[in-house]
Structure 1
Amino acid sequence: MPLDAARSAFEWLITGPHPLGVDGRLFPGLPGRRVPLNEMRDRLLRRGCPQALRDAVWAHLVLLARADGGAWTVGCVGVALPALTTIAATLSARFAGDPNDIHAAVLAGFVAELDTIDLRRPRVMLRLRWAAYRAGHAAVREALDAPTPYGHGFRSTEPPPPSGHPDFVLARAIAERAITAAEAELIGATRLEGVPLTDAAAARNLSYQAAKKARQRAERRLVAYLLHDASDTLHAGPREHDLATQVADAATITDAAAHATHTTPPSRTATDPAARAGKTGGGRVSPRSRFPGVQGCGRTHAAPAPTTSSSPEPKRRPSGSTPGVPRCA
């Protein structure tokens, strides 16, 4: 820690036969000898020490630091270490990050103020202390306002799902005929949207057991479809899988909606009047003709299918029409 390094350097200055100190005869109330800086620090921290003596000693120390720098700057830091340690501990008490920057900012703020502080005003140490606090507080605010760091390199993350969003899974299953649109709606409503199966069954005019069994059958087919799709994905390259997924996801919803709304046309039976007219009427193009529609105009129509005696009487054609020959518009 920066303050620990400053403490170690200060201890080297006050160790040995000639420790770094000031002449006590310059200040009233101090012994008439050279006072080491660690002893001077203890005297200044006493409750009974006059404020005038504190200001005089600190002004003398700051002047020595400005004039000689080096050891005297470290000496000023050593004398102020109790205050600097308290400030750093207060600012980093609830800081979850690395406190080294805060301690360094406190120390840097104190040293920078040594060059600019006004020594003619009282309470020199108090103003040095607040300069150190402001610098440390600014470091805390800068650390809290900085963006969250984002690590680089390899890291463990959850693999992406093989088939994307659940809605795309159901839509893809509808498009590939794995399940029907009604079954997908039942699964999506009850499994994804939180609709109770009882309400879903009532909305579809089904009993609870019938809806439950229908959902179970659809889910078994859906699981089998997904397992087969996943096994195919393992054999495909990552780039091919990404491209296929993007293309399929872009087109699946539209295709699934078409399958959901498409209804199979009714079969044309012998009882259907339109079908019966198509088989026996001459005004319609035969679906078995080689040239249907406009391309068949003017060509001979295939012979109409024979009717049995039980077939109803065909409709009467308008006057002027020729049986077996299509009429052009």
Structure 2
Amino acid sequence: MASPSNSGHAEWPSNSLDAAREAFAWLTAGDHPVALDGRLFDHLPNREIPVDELRDLLLRRSCPRRVWDQVWRHVITRSRAEGGTWTIVAVGLALPMLTPMAARLTDRYAGDPADIHAEIVSGFLDALQTVDLTRGRITIRLRWAAYRAGHRALLAALDGPTPKAPGFFSAEPKPPSGHPDLVLARAVEVGVLARTEAEVIAETRLDETPLNEWAAEAEIEFWAAYKMRKRAEHRLAAWLSESADGSHDSDPPSQAVTSQTVPRTASNTAGRSQNVTKKGGGGLSNEPPNSGLQGRG
């Protein structure tokens, strides 16, 4: 593995994601990059594969999801046993999903996003030590752990005042305001939604995670999750509609949340329920997203 150069006195990135990206780049620099034996996995070339090339191979749409699980089991097992290099490899492989997630959570956030980004990375690292490797969809479960950590940090950040320029004072944002995730966070803060309700709306509506996948990970029965989301969306839509002085017209993120969470008509909901039943309990969201290493945020 190449060592960092001391020439130029370059400063180490202060943002956790930028630091992870630079550290991962070191692993692939020089004549002896960190690599995995492709013969250990299905669908991969039968040779030593540098980890940056491995990341690109996993990102291809033609790569079967079972290969993701095979690679992640291998990398996580080595990270737990050896730490150091293989933990950096794990974060580097996850950057295509962590980076857009971080950008979405902190988009239009008035404070310093570095703390929230750090919590996302921390949540991911914690999950590396605890995720069950005997189950499938490892990438999705790692992603959810990172998202939950970032979302908790976002909620905590709302406890403080939002800076208001110009000047040396601050002011609370007029609810609902800001990025759609901030609208949901504010709804939790004022008691319109529970944290779990905000999470299911954010992940299955805004992030397009199929509801059946979210319910399985949350260990909630599918129809219980469906009913919980439906009730929460009714309350959220009513709250947004009743917000003072028509904030939807001047607040596009609030409009976005409303358009994606306003409950459907009874006939449409019934139709979708029938379709789900015929498909054996599939998700109520759109088609399964390009989650995990496909780079969805």
TM-score by length of 1: 0.44
Which structure shows the bigger proportion of residues in helix conformation?
2
